[in-house]
Amino acid sequence: MAEINDTRERIISVAKKRFHQRSYADVGIKEICDEASIQKGSFYHFFPSKRDLVLTVIDEFAADWADGFIGEAFDPSLPPMERFDYVIDAAYFWQKSVGDVEGRLPGCLFGNLALEISTKDDIMRAKLLAVFKHAISRFRDALDEAVETGVIEPLDSEATAEAMMAYLEGMILIAKAQNDPEVIYRLGPALKFIRIETNTH
């Protein structure tokens, strides 16, 4: 049983890394099998297709992201607006750390996949959208708490949270295009000052 789980985990781990570094389309089953040191038959035992694999990768990465990166930043013991500084630190150090090892910034896996497949696969698109929505809801909760405690003026917290996510993803995209994590360090502090007022749209 342990070995079976290990094989499945090895496939997922290789796929997660490769899809993130390159793209879904560019990475084939053969490459994943070679790198995970498994036979193609074993691959198909766990995943009927590459698409089934990427759906699992999205689920697992989303869980890691929600518990790790987002969970850690949106720690309820932190003052609500400070949580956004932690989001930026997480994005910056994560991109920088992978960039230092691989020589290239990977960008955001969810953002990369959303750009790649949104016109082609509605199921995958919906899954990715759910990941963004989950993070947006954490942003919104922090904003609502900041309003309730008088730290910031009342605002449209749902729209602001969505705008913040758009800024975060856009900033990571520009950092990837420049292959320079310092873009996140430079632009990141502005994230927590984004405001969309109530009734302005």
Residues making contact with other proteins (CB under 8 A): 68-69, 72-73, 75, 78, 86, 89-94, 96-97, 100-101, 185
Q: How far is the CB of 91 from other proteins (least distance, A)?
A: 8
**Residue (73 or 152) nearer to other proteins, CB:** 73
Q: How far is the CB of 70 from other proteins (least distance, A)?
A: 11
Q: How far is the CB of 17 from other proteins (least distance, A)?
A: 12
**Residue (46 or 69) nearer to other proteins, CB:** 69
The number of angstroms, rounded, from the C-alpha of 184 to the middle of its chain's C-alpha atoms is 15
**Residue (75 or 122) nearer to other proteins, CB:** 75
**Residue (25 or 190) nearer to other proteins, CB:** 190
Residue among 166, 115, 91 at smallest CA distance from 136: 166
**Residue (77 or 119) nearer to other proteins, CB:** 77
Q: How far is the CB of 69 from other proteins (least distance, A)?
A: 7
Q: How far is the CB of 182 from other proteins (least distance, A)?
A: 10
